[in-house]
Chain A
Amino acid sequence: MTCTEFLQQLDEMLDPAIAGPLRAELQQHLRCCEHCEITLNTTRKTIEIYRKHEVYELPEDLRERLHQAILTKCRGCAK
């Protein structure tokens, strides 16, 4: 398996539910390719970090204001 082929299947490695022969083949490649191992680990970390940190927070006062505005408008157009 080449590095390009490994990258095409990166999704499979990121999903712990994936098992079977493909995963075994990918793991085999990882054992002898440090570059792909780094790429896999840092990609996994990238996703984790984005999941964990709220990049765009909705402050409570704004949430409340938006919420009320939505409901007022919807009530206005209710039949």
Chain B
Amino acid sequence: MSTSIQSQGTAEVHPDVLLVERARGGDMAAFEKLVRQYERQVFRIAQHIVQNREDAEDVVQDAFLKAYGKLDQFQGNSKFYTWLVRIAVNEALMRLRKRRTGRMVSIDEDVETEEGSMPRDLADWSPDPEALYGQSEMAEILRKTIQGLPPGFRVVFVLRDVEGLSTEETAESLGLSVPAVKSRLLRARLQLRERLTRYFKKGSRGKAQDGVK
């Protein structure tokens, strides 16, 4: 029946937990495996928060270094990845704070906005919006659009919808409640949808080009 019922040494243990155990015992190859597994995701999340490649590189290094130093504190009751993401998000926010010296930056920043809570542009999209733009043009549109969101919305959208964490894992990674994640996610999705409509609505090609560059 359910795998969670299995016990007596055969209980399902996430492979990451075994790698963490080995790494704690000084097995660097085990930790290297964890780094290889998650470095891309951590880099993407960091980039989305700090929006600057150099800072994102530093965040990735600092996050893994910190995780390595804190391996003893990893309880194993959450996924290693969720735990790592939480460290990386905190590092990224700290980095952002340093850059905007004197300005507090938190995931609670700018969430008061009412923008996007109700859709305004209800034009339907072209049936295949991706065919309207080339690969790099599309990446630029997506980057520009998501950069316009407040950090508190951006990070929720990225963790939940892009990186595929569950609502509960997203909440855990950000130290937020599940209802707070749900409400931010809704607002983030609606704001992105609204902003992308400008580029993707039927007959938009040409007009939108002005906005890309």
Q: Which of A's residues lie within 8 Å of B, judged by CB?
A: 4, 7-8, 10-11, 35, 38-39, 41-43, 45-47, 49-56, 58, 62-63, 66-67, 69-71, 73-75, 77-79
Rounded to whole Å, the gap between the CB of B161 and the closest CB of chain A is 5
Answer yes or no: B182 CB below 8 A from chain A CBs: yes
A70 touches B61 (CB 8 A): yes
Q: Which residue of A lies closest to B35 (CB)?
A: A70
Are A74 and B64 CB-contacts (below 8 A) given A4-B118, A50-B161?
yes
Chain B residues whose CB sits within 8 angstroms of the CB of A66 once the complex forms: 39, 43, 57, 60-61
Question: How many residues belonging to B are interface residues under a CB distance threshold of 8 Å?
Answer: 48
CA distance A11 to B135 in the complex (A): 29
For A45, A46, A62, the residue with the greatest tally of chain B CB atoms inside 10 Å of its CB is: A46
Rounded to whole Å, the gap between the CB of B36 and the closest CB of chain A is 7
Chain B residues whose CB sits within 8 angstroms of the CB of A74 once the complex forms: 28, 31, 64-65, 68
CA distance A56 to B51 in the complex (A): 9
- 12 additional contacts, CB 8 Å, given A50-B162, A58-B44, A73-B61? A38-B122, A38-B123, A46-B192, A46-B193, A49-B130, A54-B139, A55-B146, A66-B57, A70-B35, A71-B35, A75-B28, A78-B26
Give chain A's interface secondary structure class: helix
CA distance A4 to B22 in the complex (A): 51
Answer yes or no: B108 CB below 8 A from chain A CBs: no
CA distance A77 to B28 in the complex (A): 12
Q: Which of B's residues lie within 8 Å of A, judged by CB?
A: 26, 28, 31-32, 35-36, 39-40, 43-44, 47-48, 56-57, 60-61, 64-65, 68-69, 118-119, 122-125, 129-130, 135, 138-139, 142-143, 146, 157, 161-162, 164, 182, 185-186, 189-190, 192-193, 196-197, 200
Q: Which of B125, B142, B157 contacts A45 (CB 8 A)?
A: B125
